[in-house]
Amino acid sequence: DGGITQSPKYLFRKEGQNVTLSCEQNLNHDAMYWYRQDPGQGLRLIYYSQIVNDFQKGDIAEGYSVSREKKESFPLTVTSAQKNPTAFYLCASQGTLGTGELFFGEGSRLTVL
Amino acid sequence: RKEVEQDPGPFNVPEGATVAFNCTYSNSASQSFFWYRQDCRKEPKLLMSVYSSGNEDGRFTAQLNRASQYISLLIRDSKLSDSATYLCVVFVGTGGFKTIFGAGTRLFVKA
């Protein structure tokens, strides 16, 4: 079945450690996104990518990094520079940037101890 | 002021009730509008797109008023399974890509 797969689903990290969240899609979508969701808040955009080898900062990119070496994959690294990384992270894809339905992965819940 | 604002909720309604959610957006260049549904600790899923002419999908009706920059979602004959958070989503394509999510309105439908 086509869809988006995020891993891991749950992740615990010590302060000062970098962690990479995986996002893979087999929908043949060009656009991919990373969002962060905190309790009681809407989704906030971290990074997005329109095509392979290209990505743009969203509203809260500080402390995060991404890569888009393959169309199917858009991993997110939460670096030690991110001051408050505990959150629910959602990856999404879209056929064409800004057009049509956003398809989300099941999310990765990161807790910093 | 937030770019997309929704009723804070939560809404607590009995089964069979009709419930309406409101959403306002501040950017007049907004181009596309959506309602997503998010169950507790799950990912959002598209409920319906919103068109100027209004659109209906079974018990759900969405309306857009561009002049007032206002979007609504009406749920008729509420079911227990409608309990979820409803997210208003606005896409602004001018001056750089931007999809903005509202904070969501939580709905509890009780037996």
- Provide the pairing of β-strand A108-112 with A87-94: antiparallel
Contact B93/A104, CB-based, under 8 Å? Answer: no
Q: Do A43 and B91 touch (CB under 8 A)?
A: no
- Mean pLDDT value across residues A72-79: 97
As a whole number, mean pLDDT of residues A19-46 equals 92
Q: Nearest residue on chain A to B8, judged by CA atoms?
A: A40
A70-82: average pLDDT: 95
CB atoms A42 and B4 under 8 Å: yes
Q: What is the pLDDT of residue B41?
A: 87
Q: How far apart are CA B72 and CA A9, in angstroms?
A: 33
pLDDT at position B100 is 87
Q: How do the pLDDT tens digits run along chain B, 111 residues long?
A: 788 999 988 999 999 999 999 999 998 888 889 999 999 989 999 999 998 888 999 999 999 999 999 999 999 999 999 999 999 999 887 555 678 899 999 999 999
Smallest CA–CA separation between B85 and chain A, in Å? 10
Pairing of strands A19-25, A103-104: unpaired
Of B87 and A1, the structure prediction assigns the larger pLDDT to B87
Asked if residues A86 and A98 have their Cβ atoms less than 8 Å apart, the reply is no
Per-residue pLDDT, A100: 72
What is the residue whose two structure tokens read 């690294």? A77
How buried is B16 (Cβ within 10 angstroms: 0-12 exposed, 13-18 middle, 19+ buried)?
exposed
SS3 category, B80: helix
